Amino acid sequence: MTFTLLDGGMGKALEEAGAPFRQPEWSALALLDDPSWVRRVHDDFIAAGADVIITNNYAVVPFHLGDDRFTARGAELTALSGRLAREAADAADRDILVAGSIPPLFGSYQPELFDPERAPLMLTTIAKELAPFVDFFVAETQSSVPEATASAAAVQPFGAPVWLSATLLDEPAPEAAALRSGESIEALCAAAVKSGAAAVLFNCSHPEVMEDAIRRAHAALPNDVEVGAYANAFEPKPAVYSANEVLMTHRADLDDGGYDAFVQSWLDASATIVGGCCGIMPRHITSLAALR
């Protein structure tokens, strides 16, 4: 079976490895305190079998760093994340692609916080700093169509392909898959085609909601746009959960082949790009590589 294998969740892999890690900085703390940890985790995912590694700038945004620290150091830290990923890819004994992360600026899973006035300049800065190091961009954990559209527009001047990856509501049954904003899979696909995206993916949601989204995206997209998913391993969030408030715990049922079974169902649904998000470790990627 042929598919592109992404890496897993950088933040939780850093935490498990013993790197500097806390809220609110999340995975950006290693860039601030000891970037060698980031390179080490990239190397671990490559050794596990990943074909693509994603730059570690997901948390280099105002939501995690604060406005003042993002203004002072955001460009520098974003460029550092790109360089670390490029060095890891170039040191590998096989061809590895680097995807530049275009993350949510104002909070994951919170489409109501997206600010269309402030976003373009910050998104362009992120893309500019990553562009020298990456093979393509992935706008990930996008909660709404306007957020995904703005991210795609920001990277277009840099000439690299873009993948659009949305986060889905965890609560509905799989047949009701929708973006966190409540917008449809079909609306995202229409925006992706208009933006010239090379792939549509779904990430940082429970694995149970991915299969239906993949099937619907595959039906809505032209054949030259790839479809895929990379889920998280989070336990269901408490009703009073607020982003950046706690470190989420992980589901034990996704170890020992549990995550593989979900990914196999996505492949059976015509996904061609798979991998993992928060809580999916190098050991999971090793197991997925064996599905080929």
Give the separation between CA 280 and CA 162, rounded to whole angstroms.
Answer: 23
On the question of pLDDT at 99 being above 90, the answer is yes
The CATH number covering residue 151 comes to: 3.20.20.330
pLDDT at 135: 98
Question: Quick one: tokens of 227?
Answer: 């479809």
User: Nearest 5°: CA angle at 123, between 209 and 85?
Assistant: 75
On the question of pLDDT at 173 being above 60, the answer is no
| Residue-range definition of the domain harbouring residue 90 | 4-289
**Cα radius of gyration rounded to whole Å, the chain:** 17
In tens, the pLDDT along 126-163 reads 999 999 999 999 999 999 999 999 999 999 999 999 99
Give the separation between CA 251 and CA 100, rounded to whole angstroms.
Answer: 28
pLDDT at 238: 46
On the question of pLDDT at 241 being above 50, the answer is no
Give the separation between CA 130 and CA 99, rounded to whole angstroms.
Answer: 9
Strands (E), 143-284: 162-166, 199-203, 226-231, 273-276
On the question of pLDDT at 264 being above 80, the answer is yes
What is the length of the chain?
292
Q: What is the mean pLDDT of residues 10-22?
A: 95
Q: What's the domain count of the chain? A: 1
pLDDT at 2: 93
Give the separation between CA 4 and CA 13, rounded to whole angstroms.
Answer: 21
Query: Average model confidence (pLDDT) for the chain?
Result: 94
On the question of pLDDT at 242 being above 90, the answer is no
What share of the chain has pLDDT > 90, as a percent? 89
How far separated are the first and last CA of the chain, in Å rounded? 5
Report the SS3 class of residue 230.
strand
Q: Which residue has the tokens 């809580």?
A: 279
Question: Quick one: tokens of 113?
Answer: 């916080």
Report the SS3 class of residue 96.
coil
Question: Quick one: tokens of 231?
Answer: 């889920």
Backbone angles phi, psi at 210, to 5 degrees: -80, -40
pLDDT at 246: 47
